[in-house]
A and B are shown apart, each in its own frame.
Chain A
Amino acid sequence: KNQVEQSPQSLIILEGKNCTLQCNYTVSPFSNLRWYKQDTGRGPVSLTIMTFSENTKSNGRYTATLDADTKQSSLHITASQLSDSASYICVVRPNDYKLSFGAGTTVTVRA
């Protein structure tokens, strides 16, 4: 069964600090990997997308990395802000449209 595992389940950081979220997957074949941000009470919104040949992708203070050989990805948040408090979901797409979702990491940024 295709699986996406995320860690940690949750974390708390102080405003201005950095943090890194992890994603391991076993989805095969692999088309692309996205990181989504889901604010409380809203739908997920895509932050980054990476295909097999891409190692890193940035979107403002968000930087995602991908190691397709080890099937690992990370999302790094730099200089966190209160608005970064959300759930971050790693989503892997195989060759069809049936996405595999991680359980998400809940990030809480405190002043």
Chain B
Amino acid sequence: DAGVIQSPRHEVTEMGQEVTLRCKPISGHDYLFWYRQTMMRGLELLIYFNNNVPIDDSGMPEDRFSAKMPNASFSTLKIQPSEPRDSAVYFCASLQGNNEQFFGPGTRLTVL
């Protein structure tokens, strides 16, 4: 298995632009997580899905952030409009049942 796949790996955009991050979880995994990592705050859970249904989005910072999981093999995290303080590394992770979470390589977002 290729593991969790994220795209793009790097994104540089200007303030006010829409940003879409993509994730393909490991096949067969029924949970998917979106995290944000910064030097100041470390890893923070933004939202997680179970069987494509959002379970907890209490970590989503503002209405500018939205996440969808239209099917078991794809999820997106969208920021609209983006702001410089959104600059961070965004990780997607997936797991099956009560097993280990596997993290993707991350998307490094820079908002100018």
Contacts and interface: CB of A to CB of B under 8 A. Distances in A.
Contacts of B4: 43
Contact of A102 (B33, B42, B103): B42
Contact of B100 (A41, A49, A89, A103): A49
A99 interface: yes
Given A42-B106, A45-B103, A46-B100, A97 B42 contact: no
Contacts of B91: 43-44
Contacts of A98: 45, 48, 56
Interface size band for A: 10 to 19
Which 3 residue pairs across A and B have the least CB separation, nearest first?
A: A43-B103, A101-B43, A103-B42
Interface of B: 4, 31, 33, 42-45, 48, 50, 55-56, 91, 93, 100-101, 103-106
| Chain A binding surface SS class | loop
A45 B33 CA distance: 15
A43 B100 contact: no
A43 B105 contact: yes
Nearest to B56: A98
B67 to A, nearest CB: 15
Contacts of B56: 96-98
21 contacts: A34-B100, A43-B93, A43-B105, A43-B106, A44-B43, A44-B103, A45-B103, A46-B101, A49-B100, A89-B42, A96-B56, A97-B31, A97-B33, A97-B50, A97-B56, A98-B45, A98-B48, A99-B45, A101-B42, A101-B43, A102-B42
